[in-house]
């Protein structure tokens, strides 16, 4: 990092600290995938001048899909009405169930209409879609379920991170760090995000290079698609139920 870059990064951080803290709401719910949440949260935690809150229906511990428990900071009622960032992580069956959870969808719709950025990682975009927040926007999701997005009014894009106006959605699980860094660049500038990337030593070198259906051996991809088939079917059903509850789009 050059002196000039360091000065720019320091200035951005100092300016953020003196301004009113930006409010980041990160939804947590039973069955979520922890890395969907923690990847972006780690990046947000290194930003100066933000207040990151884990939000849920209640403050009871929330159990992730691997059994790790997370303690929410705020309930829906306590969350600010106009957050700077609204974020939803993904998961498996817990996420599909959330697509039909009226209280959660109403919370997301109410905060999403006033949020500066509406965001997700992995299948969290399906929950945003079920809340009616992706109609007319380009979006992505985990490769196994992204085919559901068009039925929720979104324009599907096969990319690791998709940005469309104030909607930012990311692909499966590990893309949460990519998403976090891109959003950090929007909030604090490219050099600040570069410094965070260096701090995280984020330099992926996957040992098998089979992280997408296009790169994995055909037999591995076929097995994975077969494994996910029941989840995809359930997601389509939840999407159909969500559409029935939508109000006409303004």
Give catalytic residues, as residue numbers: 122
Dist CA 3 CA 236 (whole Å): 52
Cα–Cα–Cα angle for 231, 233, 238, nearest 5°?
90
173 secondary structure, DSSP code: T
Please answer whether residues 118 and 110 qualify as being in contact, where contact means their C-beta atoms are separated by less than 8 angstroms.
no
In sequence order, what are the beta bridge partners of 170? Answer: 121, 161
**Backbone angles phi and psi of 249, in degrees to 5:** -70, 130
DSSP 25-92: EEE--TTB-HHHHHHHHHHHHTSSSEEEEEEESSSS-EE-TTS-EE--SEEGGGS-SS-SEEEE--BS
Dist CA 73 CA 23 (whole Å): 13
Please answer whether residues 59 and 193 qualify as being in contact, where contact means their C-beta atoms are separated by less than 8 angstroms.
no
Q: In the 3-class helix/strand/coil scheme, how is 205-220 assigned residue by residue?
A: CCCCCCCCCCCCCHHH
Among positive and negative, which fits the CA dihedral 28, 115, 193, 15? negative
């Amino acid at each position: 990092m050059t002196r000039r870059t360091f000065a720019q990064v320091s200035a951005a951080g100092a300016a953020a600290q003196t301004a009113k803290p930006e409010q980041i709401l990160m939804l947590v719910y039973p069955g979520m995938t922890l890395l969907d949440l923690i990847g972006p949260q780690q990046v947000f935690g290194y930003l100066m001048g933000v207040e990151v809150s884990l939000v849920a229906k209640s403050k009871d511990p929330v159990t992730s899909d691997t059994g790790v428990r997370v303690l929410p900071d705020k309930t829906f009622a306590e969350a600010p009405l106009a957050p700077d960032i609204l974020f939803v992580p993904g998961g498996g069956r817990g996420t599909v169930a959330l697509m039909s959870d009226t209280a959660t969808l109403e919370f997301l719709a109410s905060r999403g209409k006033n949020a500066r950025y509406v965001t997700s990682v992995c299948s969290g975009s399906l929950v945003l879609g079920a809340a009616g927040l992706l109609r007319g926007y380009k979006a992505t999701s985990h490769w196994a379920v992204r085919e559901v997005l068009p039925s929720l009014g979104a324009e599907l894009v096969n990319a690791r991170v998709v940005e469309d106006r104030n909607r930012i959605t990311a692909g499966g699980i590990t893309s949460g760090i990519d998403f976090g860094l891109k959003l950090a660049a929007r909030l604090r500038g490219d050099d600040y995000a570069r410094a965070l990337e260096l701090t995280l030593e984020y330099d992926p070198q996957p040992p098998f290079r089979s992280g997408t259906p296009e790169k994995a051996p055909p037999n591995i991809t076929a097995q994975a698609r077969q494994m996910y088939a029941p989840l995809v079917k359930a997601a389509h059903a939840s999407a159909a139920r969500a559409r029935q509850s939508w109000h006409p789009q303004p």
